[in-house]
Amino acid sequence: MKHILMISTGGTLASSYSENGLAPGLHGNDILDRIEGLTAGFCVEEEELFMMDSSNVQPEEWAQLAQRIYERRLDFDGIVIIHGTDTLAYTASALSFALQGIEVPVVLTGSQVSIENPIADATENCRAALHMAASGCPGVFVAFNRKIIMGTRASKVRTRSFDAFESINYPYAARINSSGFVVNPAVPISYGRTCCLQNKFCTDIFVLKLFPGISPDIFMKLKSMGVRGVYVEAFGIGGLPSRKRNITTAIGEAVRSGMIVVVGSQCLYEGSDFTVYEVGRQVLEQGVITAGGMTTEGAITKLMWALGQYHDMNRVREVIKTNLLGEIGTMLDWCGN
């Protein structure tokens, strides 16, 4: 019988209805009572770390959660995290970087409807999370709608549907279907590593979504505000304006001043390639780092994590460019399998 730790942090799954709307109010033991039938094959211990709407979950909570997981990881076969869906993908990615080499499965899940609701998706999501936590596949994952997604690849793509999360540019790590719980052999799992806690995150970053007419002066203003890193969501496969309002030159000046600039695409799927068009190649010449197939959540949290760990900007640049956990690149032929 696998020994699983369930850490509750709040979110919709743990929410109750009130005149002011849904708010977290169910404790870990309340959740266990409601999924009692699912836990019959496991030995589940619960604890409550905090009770928050995930919109209020900040890097300080990521650090606290990573610390707790690190402290308790070797006492259990796997860990399930109950978390709100709005920032769940950010937390999953942040934990992936903070807990590299984690020896057990750490699985985040939540729901679109409170577990108090008879039609809630919470039960199925908890079922998937428990089975992944007991799988013996180490790493950080998201369990939702019978799909298991790598922590650095998850993104919330729907606000109401039970099928709220997708694996962006990467195959599912596992699925639950008529064949049972099926782990995807195409997804590499790292075994035999020793976890090292690295849970410092820098919040001096900014996310900039380009739009026609945006002023290049934004980079000078960001620099004056003390921003150390910027993630730029460019157009299409990799395009930025270089005429009239010359964002490319402004980025180059920011990079030369010591700012880390990572560029990706506003498009959710298929990644970016700044070598395709002239406007993309021009920004590459400015010393930017390309995000490739990274999700926005993955790029943001990796930038925050790298700046939190290292003071040497050259080291930060190298770490961001290195594929640490499958977050860079795409596996498009396998996606959807």
The pLDDT score that the predictor gives to residue 105 is 96
Assigned domain for 130 exists: yes
Is residue 149 included in any domain, yes or no?
yes
Rounded distance between C-alpha atoms, residue 128 and residue 146, angstroms: 6
Q: What is the domain count for the chain?
A: 2
Per-residue pLDDT averaged across 273-302, rounded?
94
Rounded distance between C-alpha atoms, residue 91 and residue 49, angstroms = 14
Active-site annotation, residues: 12
Report the CATH number at residue 306: 3.40.50.40
Mean of pLDDT over the chain: 93
Residue 164 sits in the same domain as residue 245: no
Beta bridge partners of 148: 143, 174
| Residue range(s) defining the domain that contains residue 258 | 205-321
Residues 173 and 234 in one domain: no
Residue 302's identity, in one-letter code, is: K
Nearest to 184 by CA among 230, 220, 255, 132: 132
Locate tokens 């769940």: which residue?
Answer: 88
Looking at the fold, whether 237 and 280 belong to one and the same domain comes out as: yes
How large is the angle between the packed helices 296-309 and 88-98, nearest 10 degrees? 40
pLDDT at 336: 45
Q: Please give the Cα distance from 38 to 35 (Å, whole number).
A: 5
Say how many C-beta atoms besides its own lie within 10 A of residue 297's C-beta: 24
Secondary element (H or E) of residue 217: helix 217-224
Residue of higher predicted confidence among 163 and 40: 163
Report pLDDT for 41. Answer: 87
pLDDT score, position 333: 45
By percentage, how much of the chain surpasses pLDDT 70?
A: 97
Indicate the pTM of the whole model: 0.94
Residues making up the chain, counted from first to last: 337
Look at residue 191 in the predicted model and tell me its pLDDT.
Answer: 63
CA distances from 208 to 63, 218, 224, 296 (A): 25, 9, 16, 11
pLDDT of amino acid 332: 55
106 forms beta bridges with: 79, 140
Q: 237 with 277: CB under 8 angstroms? A: yes
Q: Give the residue among 134, 135, 137, 132 at the shortest CA–CA distance from 109.
A: 132
Q: In terms of domains, do 34 and 155 share one?
A: yes
Cα separation, 273 vs 233, whole angstroms: 13
* pLDDT tens track for 207-237: 999 999 999 999 999 999 999 999 999 999 9
Residues 49 and 10 grouped into a single domain: yes
Please write down the HEC assignment for all residues of 240-259.
Answer: CCCCCCCHHHHHHHHHHCCC
20/90 same-domain check: yes
Tokens matching residue 165: 């999360």
Poorest-confidence range of 13-27, 143-157, 197-211? 13-27
Q: Span 277-284, mean pLDDT?
A: 93
Tell me the C-alpha to C-alpha distance, in Å, between residue 72 and each of 66, 249, 258: 10, 49, 39
pLDDT attached to residue 292: 87
If one counts every other C-beta atom within 10 angstroms of the C-beta of residue 201, the result is 23
Q: Which residues contact 22 (CB under 8 A, 6 or more apart)?
A: 12, 15, 16, 114
39 in the same domain as 83: yes
Residues 179 and 210 in one domain: no
Going by C-alpha positions, the residue among 203, 205, 283 that lies closest to residue 241 is: 283
Q: How many Cα atoms are found within 13 Å in the side-chain-facing hemisphere of 191? A: 5
Q: Are 17 and 58 in contact (CB under 8 A)?
A: no
User: Is residue 216 located within the same domain as residue 109?
Assistant: no
Look at residue 99 and tell me if it is in a domain: yes
48 domain residue, yes or no? yes
The answer as to whether 143 is a domain residue is: yes
